């Protein structure tokens, strides 16, 4: 519930990952790194789809 006593309703279709662009406000259960707007993004990449964006861990290439 918000300050007004009403339930929060998201009005726009955006990824919650944008909240942590330069902060650490999201809970750990969201699996979005804090302050991710850096060159290497700590091994994470934002995958854009038609619906929204989501964070995925980059897969490491293995060479044999």
Determine the Cα–Cα distance for residues 43 and 33; give it in Å rounded to an integer: 9
The reply to whether 27 falls in a domain is: yes
* Residues whose CB is less than 8 angstroms from the CB of residue 12 and which lie 6 or more positions away in sequence, other chains included: none
Residue 20 forms part of a structural domain: yes
Residue 33 lies in a domain: yes
CA distance 11 to 5: 18
> Is residue 2 assigned to a domain?
no
List C-alpha distances in Å: 16 to 27, 40, 52, 61. Answer: 11, 20, 9, 28
Q: Is the pLDDT of residue 19 over 60?
A: yes
| Domain-embedded: residue 10 | no
Provide the residue range defining the domain that includes 53.
16-57
pLDDT at 40: 58
* The model scores a pTM over 0.75: no
pLDDT for residue 7: 79
Domain count, the chain: 1
């Amino acid at each position: 519930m918000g300050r007004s006593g009403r339930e929060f309703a998201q009005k726009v279709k955006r990824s919650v990952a944008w909240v942590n662009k330069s902060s650490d406000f999201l809970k750990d259960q969201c699996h979005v790194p804090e302050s991710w707007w850096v060159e290497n993004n700590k091994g994470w990449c934002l995958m854009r789809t038609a619906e929204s964006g989501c964070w995925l861990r980059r897969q490491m290439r293995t060479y044999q």
